[in-house]
Amino acid sequence: MKIIPPSFTVLDQLDQESLPVRIEYCGRVCYKSEDRIDRESAIPFVARMAEHGHNSVLEMGVLTLEVECPGQEPVDELFRCQPKYLFIDIPEENRLLVTGSVRAFREMLLFHPDSALVQAMSDFLLRRHDWFFTGIRPQSGPAPVPTIRVDKIALEEVDRFPAPLLERHRHIAVKFVVNRAVTHEIVRHRPCSFLQESQRYCRYSDDKFGSEVTFIRPLFFAEGSVEYNIWQQAMRETEKMYLQLLETCTPQAARTVLPNSCKTELIVYCNLAEWKHIFRLRTSKAAEPSMREVMIPLQEDFRERFPGVFQ
* Phi, psi values for residue 53, rounded to 5°: 75, 30
Q: Which of 28, 180, 282, 303 is catalytic?
A: 282
Q: Catalytic site residue 103? A: no
Strands (E), the chain: 2-4, 7-10, 62-68, 87-92, 95-101, 149-153, 171-179, 193-196, 214-216, 263-271
What is the distance between the alpha carbons of residues 270 and 277, in angstroms, rounded to a whole number?
11
Q: Which amino acid is at 271?
A: N
Q: d(Cα 15, Cα 8) in Å, to the nearest integer?
A: 17
| CB proximity list for 40: less than 8 A, separation 6 or greater | none
The C-alpha atoms of residue 99 and residue 65 are separated, in whole angstroms, by: 6
Contact status, residue 78 vs residue 117, Cβ threshold 8 Å? yes
Cα–Cα dist 205/212, whole Å: 6
Compute CA distances 122 → 110, 145, 151, whole Å: 10, 10, 12
- Of 140, 142, 134, 174, give the one whose Cα is nearest residue 53: 134
Q: Is residue 157 within 8 Å of residue 233, measured between CB atoms?
A: no
Separation between Cα atoms, residue 43 and residue 104, nearest integer Å? 18
Catalytic residue positions, numbered = 282
